[in-house]
Structure 1
Amino acid sequence: MKTTLSCLFLLMLSAPAFAAGEGGGIRIENARLPEMPPAAKTAAIYLDIVNSGAADRLLSAQAEATANQTELHATQFEGDIMRMRKIEAVDLAAGATTALKPGGLHIMLIELKQPLRASQSVPLALRFEKAGTVQITVPVLKREGAAAAASHAGHGQ
């Protein structure tokens, strides 16, 4: 019974969020934050932004209750070295889905205020140029495999 209730709770957390601003047409799906080791000072949020309306831009993200800084990041290769860099915005094409995923675009939580464990959730505000602000809840999920532990080594973990 506890497992069923836990699954229902996580399903509710991962339900799509819709933008209520003038741009409309923005939907957030598959939001997730992989669990990090207890001493980690950074974490990454991944999600899909489904834009069924006009072109828009993700301007910022805020997770004030969870981290001292929240930044939009992109992974870039410099020769054979993978680096993660802060970016100012994410362009969202009309009628397209933009994936924020490992090895690409993502949202970085910097200077975590406390360790994040699986089954917790993080409130996140996404600010769009046209669609306005969308509030979502991002579930913290158990990290799969050892390779995932190295996915943000460039952020000082």
Structure 2
Amino acid sequence: LAVPAAYVQMPSSGDSTVGYLDIRNNGTADQLVSVRTSVGGTVQLRAPVRPGASPIVFHTVPDIPVAANAMTQLVPDSYHLLITGAGPLRDGKDITLTLTFARSGPITILALVTNPESGGSSYFLN
């Protein structure tokens, strides 16, 4: 498994932020089962209750499926990370995310902190 793109957004208000990333899987199917950050807090795996429905309502899920030999994207309107209670996040700085997969185990990556309100990325692709 490889993660070629990852970022978290600075919270606009309150105590939560979101994380988006791409997961490239060149092997068998797997599941993302948990995530930890270098800035503390709790990370929930989120998914839409009814994909394609409007308005989009999200709920916490126990895992995010990662298809075999494919790219899985955690994006604003689909699967993503919800980070609560984390330490300070600064625009343009990196934080570390440790992703734990059911089969592949843990992978540690860097995620860029962005601020969409000041022109930072709202989502990007490599």
Which TM bucket (shorter chain)? 0.7 to 0.9
The equivalent of 2:114 in structure 1 is: 141
CA contact (8 A) 1:74 1:105 kept: yes
The letter of the residue matching 2:96 is: P
Residue 121 (1) aligns with residue 79 (2): no
Larger Rg: 1
Secondary structure in 2 matching 1:119:
coil
Cα drift, residue 94 of structure 1: 0.9
Q: 1:27 aligns to what? A: 2
Name the structure 1 match of 2:21.
47
Deviation by residue 1:98-134 (Cα, 9 ceiling, x = unmatched): 00001110011012333x2211221111001111100
* CA positional deviation for 1:93: 1.4
Any unmatched runs of 5+ in structure 1?
1-25, 150-157
2:9 partner amino acid: P
TM-score of the two chains, using structure 2 as the length reference: 0.82
Distance 1:77 1:67 in 2: 30
- Three-state SS of the structure 2 residue aligned to 1:112 is coil
Distance 1:122 1:135 in 2: 10
CA separation in 2, counterparts of 1:40 and 1:120? Answer: 20
* Matched ranges for 1:70-89 at <5 A: 70-77=43-50, 80-89=54-63
Aligned to 2:77: 103
Partner SS state of residue 91, structure 1: strand
Identity %: 24
In the TM superposition, what whole-angstrom CA distance separates every residue of 1:22-67 from its partner, at most 9, and x where no partner exists? Answer: xxxx010210112333x4310111000000011111111111x424
The aligned counterpart of 2:35 is 61
Distance 1:77 1:144, change over 3 A: farther
The CA distance in 1 between the partners of 2:28 and 2:101, in whole Å, is 12
1:132 to 105, 116, 122: 105
Structure 1 residue 77, shift from structure 2 partner: 4.6
Shift of 1:144: 5.4
TM-score by length of 1: 0.67
More helix by share: 1
Task: Return 5+ residue gaps in structure 2 as ranges.
Answer: none
